[in-house]
Structure 1
Amino acid sequence: MIIIIGNQKGGCGKSTLTILLANYLAIVRKCKVTVMDMDYQQSVWQKYEKAKILENEEPYEVVALELETYPGMKEILAANPGDIALIDLPGKLDDDGLLPVFKSAGLVICPFAYDEFSFESTILFSVVLRKINPEVRIVYVPNRIKANVKYETQADVDEQLKKFGSVTGCLPDRIDFQRTSTLQTPLSVYPIVLPVFDKIYKEHIHQEHE
């Protein structure tokens, strides 16, 4: 199964969310996971390389990948349909190399924030994605959410996004999220992410993975 984590807007927490989800799937759900880091900063891959120094056994592999290389990788992934590939996308929409990535995705996880710029970028990302892959399932994850978000704003945004997919519970803006590595998630983070990831797993991943 191919899952992409993306949004047009940078700074929405894609890379940290990718690592958190990879840790959850590999460690909690015992799935065979590969992470493909296509973001220009390649922060997931850098964390993975840094973790290798500790000489601990990695729960999954992280591959740094250019968009142009993806079509060849897609054939390799297709040979192992029971495995899960997580793709951390670059924060842009103006590259034709994204087309095969969008077309092959079975699930898209889209982190966003409750502000006007993030909302507009998320809607644009969703419209483009739907044109390329009309059948893809989209799950929106409110990410790095501060406590002062107005309920009316949250309700209005959720209503608009539900025209494209489903919206999970919020992940708050917490400093301990930044201590997540490709080896482990801090114990203090698990009570926050488990309700969100359990819902995504049960509704979108479980049957395909089995």
Structure 2
Amino acid sequence: MICLFGNQKGGVGKSTLTVLSGNYLSLDKDWPVTILDMDYQQSISQKFEKAKVLENEEPYDVLPANLESFPMLIPVLTKNNKDVVLIDLPGKLDDDGLIPVFEAADLVICPFSYDEFTFESTVLFTVVLKKVNPKIDVIFIPNRIKANVKFEIMTEVNEQLSKFGRITAAIPDRIDFQRITTFQTPVSLYGIITPVFDQIFADRLWKK
């Protein structure tokens, strides 16, 4: 399975969700996982290298990559159909190198927030993605949602995004997310993220 984490809008938490998914699939479900870090900041790769110094054997591999290297890497990473490849995409749409990535993917997880600019970026990303790969399964995650804040456009955003894919339960904005590593997820977050990932991955893992 090839799963993308993407949105044209930066700062929506796609790198964090990539790591959380890697931890969930490898540590909780015992699935072989590889993360391709294609984001310009390479934050997952940096986190991975830092954690390797402090921890024991890593639960999965993190490979820094770019759009140009994808066609060479993916046949090797998907030889076994039980392998899961998670890809943290760069936050852009103006590169033809994205086309083979979109075409190869089975699933895209698209985090977003309830503001007008992020909504427009999310829709644009999804429209382009669907033009390249009409069959791809799209999952939207309302992410970093602040408690006790009323979002006036929430109903409209959910209604529009549901035309393209499924919307999960919201993930709140919590300080604990800053303590995530590529070796573990803080126990305090399990009750928040596990129901979301169960909803996204359970059927796919069972089919494998």
1:13 aligns with 2:13: yes
Given that 1:114 and 1:149 are in contact with CA atoms closer than 8 Å, whether structure 2 keeps it comes out as: no
The alpha carbon displacement at 1:147 in A equals 1.8
Letter in 1 for 2:157: V
- Give CA deviations for 1:55-114 in whole Å, capped at 9, x if unaligned: 411110000001100001121123121100000001110111111100000000000001
Given that 1:36 and 1:62 are in contact with CA atoms closer than 8 Å, whether structure 2 keeps it comes out as: yes
Equivalent residue for 1:31?
Answer: 31
Equivalent residue for 1:206?
Answer: 205
Task: State the alpha-carbon separation in 2 of the partners of residues 164 and 101 from structure 1.
Answer: 19
Shift of the 55–202 alpha-carbon distance from structure 1 to 2, 3 Å rule, reads: closer
Equivalent residue for 1:51?
Answer: 51
Task: State the alpha-carbon separation in 1 of the partners of residues 164 and 55 from structure 2.
Answer: 43
- Give CA deviations for 1:151-196 in whole Å, capped at 9, x if unaligned: 6522211110010000000000111111000000000011110110
Equivalent residue for 1:63?
Answer: 63
Look up the SS of the partner of 1:3 in the other structure: strand
1:22 aligns with 2:18: no
Given that 1:38 and 1:89 are in contact with CA atoms closer than 8 Å, whether structure 2 keeps it comes out as: yes
Equivalent residue for 1:145?
Answer: 145
Equivalent residue for 2:163?
Answer: 163
TM-score by length of 2: 0.97
Equivalent residue for 1:185?
Answer: 185
Task: State the alpha-carbon separation in 1 of the partners of residues 188 and 199 from structure 2.
Answer: 19
Task: State the alpha-carbon separation in 1 of the partners of residues 151 and 88 from structure 2.
Answer: 30
- Which runs of no fewer than 5 residues in structure 1 stay unpaired? none
Given that 1:38 and 1:88 are in contact with CA atoms closer than 8 Å, whether structure 2 keeps it comes out as: yes
**Structure 1 segments (4+ residues) deviating >2 Å:** 148-153
The alpha carbon displacement at 1:13 in A equals 0.5
Equivalent residue for 1:116?
Answer: 116
Letter in 2 for 1:17: L
Given that 2:55 and 2:183 are in contact with CA atoms closer than 8 Å, whether structure 1 keeps it comes out as: no
Task: State the alpha-carbon separation in 2 of the partners of residues 156 and 148 from structure 1.
Answer: 19
Letter in 2 for 1:115: D
Given that 1:142 and 1:171 are in contact with CA atoms closer than 8 Å, whether structure 2 keeps it comes out as: yes
- Which runs of no fewer than 5 residues in structure 2 stay unpaired? none
Letter in 2 for 1:169: A
The alpha carbon displacement at 1:149 in A equals 3.9
What is the aligned-residue RMSD (CA, Å)? 1.1
Letter in 1 for 2:50: K
Task: State the alpha-carbon separation in 2 of the partners of residues 34 and 88 from structure 1.
Answer: 11
Given that 2:9 and 2:122 are in contact with CA atoms closer than 8 Å, whether structure 1 keeps it comes out as: yes
The number of equivalent residue pairs is: 208
Task: State the alpha-carbon separation in 1 of the partners of residues 118 and 196 from structure 2.
Answer: 20
Task: State the alpha-carbon separation in 1 of the partners of residues 46 and 138 from structure 2.
Answer: 27
Letter in 2 for 1:183: F
Higher mean displacement: 84-93 or 51-60: 51-60
- Give CA deviations for 1:121-162 in whole Å, capped at 9, x if unaligned: 000000000000000000000000112443652221111001
Given that 1:111 and 1:141 are in contact with CA atoms closer than 8 Å, whether structure 2 keeps it comes out as: yes
Given that 1:8 and 1:93 are in contact with CA atoms closer than 8 Å, whether structure 2 keeps it comes out as: yes
The alpha carbon displacement at 1:207 in A equals 3.7
